[in-house]
Chain A
Amino acid sequence: MSTQIVENRPKLIIKGVSKRFKSKRADVQALDNVSLDVAEGEFVCLIGPSGCGKSTLLDITAGLTMPDIGEVLADGQLVEGPGRQRLVMFQESALFPWLDAFGNVMFGLKLRPDLKRRERREIADHYLQLVGLEKFKHAHVHELSGGMKQRVALARALAPDPQVLLMDEPFAALDALTRDQLYDDLQRIWSESHKTVIFVTHNVREAVCLGDRVVLMSSRPGRIAEVFDIPLPRPRDINSPELSSYASRIATALKGTVSKVVSE
């Protein structure tokens, strides 16, 4: 089993986090008193209707946004800003067009002074190979397909060896076939690397396929509505019937949170 949960302190502790976005045109309570513990090596999927604050919660965990109230602890340390131990893989490809695939993977590695030049290159090569793109090492970003770009982005996020990987709808813009392939790859890579992952999505099947737990959020204000354990064996096939029964349960609950908002 890849889900060896270390029984002591959780890897990530999100404690009573609230966040309000105020501008001239809108005043949105994005998150209202959200608390969540994530164990070491656990894969947690955050799911919810758009505008439920799931991406904001991810940003706060990354340290890119500061909460108004509450705090996030990573390994018991207060998160006060972005850090190399919690890397983010973004929705759209945030790859740098002025660098090739290899250069992008090297970007985070070059910011690690503890590594030697040769070690960095070896690590970058290793991760490009892990995502199956060793042949596209020197390709420019625009020459890669959408799926390949997100593979490079995954390699870039994994290469500096963060303890926590934060993924913000990384596969949302891809076609179904490419996505299915990436689910397999991500499960394989995750089972080897034992990273702690928070994965934000609005796709229920995707959440069930990948997550040890699926955290359902409701919107306005963003709160945790329900948490589902997914004890299915891995690797999981997104099209399997066992997965469907979990997915339909969560989908029903998700619809409940949406209709509540609409009827308001």
Chain B
Amino acid sequence: MKRVVIASLFFLALAAVWELAVRSGRWSPVLLPSPISVAEYVWAALLDGTLIEATWVTLKRLLLGYAVGVLIGLPIGLLTSSSQIMEDTFGSLALGLQTLPSVCWVPLALVWFGQSEGAMLFVVVMGTVWSVIIATDHGARTIPPIYARAARTMGSKGLHKWTRVILPASLPFLVSGMKQGWAFAWRSLMAAEIYVTILTGFGLGHLLHYGRELNAMEQVIGVMLVIVVIGLVADRLLFSPWERLLHARWGTNVK
């Protein structure tokens, strides 16, 4: 409770500083809208459904692309960690492409898939898959060898070894890898939505883009806030339960 109060006070203070800056009159309200007008926009957009609709469109793209990225990246990461050939081929490829900012995939996606959902999906998958491969590979390599030895003596091998020993043993790395993959997916989707107009769905990135076109800064900032809030909520819902489980089982991060 005390933590909630402190956090609330902090953000209220930030808003107050912002409001004071607006009232000082040094900046044009067109460039720096007041927090109140931003709140009004968010409220109105929630009521008329545009924000909910855009959030839904964006989240659908994000979750689908992320899921595909993880489903492809996880097995490849396990393979690159265990096979020299896979390490030299897919491992190097992942390492190289991970350094490529995912927005760089947008022109290619447009040429290949046109202004379609396919282009969006492609960009998100490309943003996710390489970092998931690298995190999984790293996790599987960092397992204490004694776990694998103990499992071997008890007769664990093949698929059993992968699913019951290597995967759970590398869970601490996997979760941070998944989290990183999520962050990359989110960034790449926003970049794609801001650059690419497609007719099948109007996402948060588009809302942001048109806010700028219409010179509606309260919309731009309002949508940015919504994106931040979705990021926080997703972190809580998707990753916090896993992190709590890890801390409980591994005995890490004990306060």
Contact = CB atoms under 8 A, between A and B. Distances in A.
A62 B251 contact: no
A160 B152 contact: no
With a 10 A CB-CB cut-off, give which of A87, A98, A99, A111 has the most chain B CB atoms.
A98
Interface string A79-115: 0001110111010101011110000000110010000
A64 B149 contact: yes
B150 A94 contact: yes
Interface residues of B, number: 20
Given A90-B146, A92-B146, A111-B160, A97 B152 contact: no
B160 A82 contact: no
Interface string A191-218: 0000000000000000000000000000
A142 interface: yes
Interface string A127-166: 0000000000000111100000000000010001000000
Contact of A90 (B149, B156, B250, B251): B149
B251 A82 contact: no
Contact of A98 (B146, B150, B155, B249): B249
Contacts of A84: 154-155
Interface stretch (B9-17, B164-172, B190-198, B229-237): B164-172
Interface in A52-83: 62-64, 82-83
With a 10 A CB-CB cut-off, give which of A64, A97, A107 has the most chain B CB atoms.
A97
B197 to A, nearest CB: 46
Contact of A82 (B153, B169, B248): B153
Given A111-B156, A111-B160, A98 B251 contact: no
Contact of A108 (B146, B147, B149, B155): B155
A99 B165 CA distance: 10
A86 B153 contact: yes
B154 A111 contact: yes
B157 to A, nearest CB: 9
Given A64-B149, A94-B147, A98-B169, A111 B155 contact: yes
B153 A87 contact: yes
Nearest to B151: A107
Contact of A96 (B147, B149, B160): B147
Nearest to A87: B153
Interface in B112-169: 146-147, 149-156, 160, 164-165, 168-169
B251 A140 contact: yes
Given A94-B146, A94-B147, A160 B250 contact: no
A87 B153 CA distance: 6
A87 B154 contact: yes
A108 B165 contact: no
> 7 tightest A-B contacts by CB?
A142-B251, A108-B154, A94-B150, A98-B168, A94-B146, A111-B155, A82-B153
Given A64-B149, A88-B153, A143-B251, 10 more contacts: A64-B153, A82-B155, A94-B147, A97-B249, A98-B171, A107-B156, A107-B164, A108-B154, A142-B249, A142-B250
6 contacts: A88-B150, A96-B168, A96-B169, A99-B168, A107-B154, A140-B249
Interface of A: 62-64, 82-84, 86-88, 90, 92, 94, 96-99, 107-108, 111, 140-143, 156, 160
